[in-house]
Amino acid sequence: VFLLFVLFLTAATSLFAYAATKGRRTLSAGFLRKAGRWFFEYIGAFACFLALNMVLGVIIIVMFRGITSHFVPVYDVRDPLIFILSAAQGFIFQKWWSRDET
């Protein structure tokens, strides 16, 4: 039921956005395919940056604990800020990499 509710919400706001902008932009099937492809490329870039940030974070924390007496929990790498910044990195990287296509 929750899934259907979420799907309904996203479908409703998408239709609203389409209706509000209709006439100013055309929406083709080709563009939707391209947007879908770009979306998955962006998710891939986000996942890669997130994995790299977390692995590097754990390595730095373990090394820091090894060479100083100060304790830093490894769990710090799951801070939401890392997710948000990784998402930004993925977005900017994908925009930059695919700039020749647009």
Partner 1 sequence: MNQPRVIKNIDRVMGAIGTLAAVLFLATALTPVSNYAGSYFAINPDIRPAGAIVVLGAGLWKGGMLDNESLRRTLRGIELYKNSLAPVIVFSGPARDDEPGRSEAEVRTQLAINMGIPAGAIVKEDVVNTTREESVRIAKTLQGRGIQSILLVTESLHMRRATYLFARTGMTVYPVPSDNFTLAAASPEERIQLATRLAEETAALIYYRIAGYI
Residues interacting with partner 1, by CB under 8 A?
A: 2-3, 37, 39-48, 58, 71, 73-75, 78, 94, 97-98
Residue 19 CA to residue 73 CA, distance in Å, equals: 49
For residue 100, the one-letter residue type is D
Nearest approach, Cβ of 75 to partner 1 (angstroms)?
Answer: 8
The smaller minimum CB distance to partner 1, of residues 41 and 53, is found at 41
Nearest approach, Cβ of 17 to partner 1 (angstroms)?
Answer: 22
Which residue is listed with tokens 């647009």?
A: 102
Nearest approach, Cβ of 76 to partner 1 (angstroms)?
Answer: 12
For residue 71, the one-letter residue type is F
Nearest approach, Cβ of 25 to partner 1 (angstroms)?
Answer: 24
Q: Give yes or no for a contact between 98 and 41, defined as CB atoms under 8 angstroms apart.
A: yes
DSSP per-residue string spanning 29-56? HHHHHHHHHHHHHHHHHHHHHHHHHHHH
The smaller minimum CB distance to partner 1, of residues 26 and 75, is found at 75
The smaller minimum CB distance to partner 1, of residues 42 and 53, is found at 42
